Structure 1
Amino acid sequence: MRSATLITITKMIESLPKDKQEQVLNHLYEYITELYDEIKWDLLFKNSQEELSKIAKQVRKEIAEGKIEDFDYDKL
């Protein structure tokens, strides 16, 4: 199903010279690709929050117990 907005945009793009059509389509492609990446990362972080919270709690516990030392950059 095509929305009215999509139909309007398609007509606008089709009214442009061919080289400008390619420019717009390339820009849209890059924009949509970035959106897919954002959605992917959002899902990865959303699905990992519980595990990250467990790790953070464990690290805080180990710090409180003195099991973790400050990082010494000189030992690199």
Structure 2
Amino acid sequence: MSSAAITTVIKMMESLPVDVQERIAEHLREYIDDLQDEIQWNESFQRTQQNLIAAARRAKQEIAEGKATAIDFCLQKTPK
């Protein structure tokens, strides 16, 4: 299936030298790969969003109840 936008882009590219067409095609491949990664990330996030919300609520409740302990994020060198 080809949309009018794709047809227009193809016509524009056909007017360019082959080496430029190849560069454009490579840019488009990279751009489409990035878009597909973003779509996959968004779908994954949507599937897990309720679990993340529940975990955040549990953590907040544990903090309020004094059941949580602070994490030391400072990296300390251990002697060898």
TM-score (normalised: structure 2)? 0.84
- When residues 75 and 4 of structure 1 are mapped into structure 2, their CA distance, relative to the original with a 3 A threshold, is closer
Task: Point out where structure 1 has 5 or more consecutive residues left out of the alignment.
Answer: none
Shift of 1:8: 1.3
Question: In the alignment, what sits opposite 2:16?
Answer: 16
Amino acid at match of 1:44: S
Distance 1:75 1:27 in 2: 41
TM-score (normalised: structure 1)? 0.88
Question: In the alignment, what sits opposite 1:3?
Answer: 3
Of all paired residues, the percent bearing the same amino acid is: 45
Greater shift in the superposed pair: 66-75 or 32-41: 66-75
Question: In the alignment, what sits opposite 1:71?
Answer: 71
Distance 1:74 1:33 in 2: 37
Task: Point out where structure 2 has 5 or more consecutive residues left out of the alignment.
Answer: none
Distance 1:74 1:31 in 2: 38
RMSD: 1.6
Question: In the alignment, what sits opposite 1:37?
Answer: 37
- When residues 25 and 70 of structure 1 are mapped into structure 2, their CA distance, relative to the original with a 3 A threshold, is same
Distance 1:2 1:14 in 2: 16
Shift of 1:73: 4.2
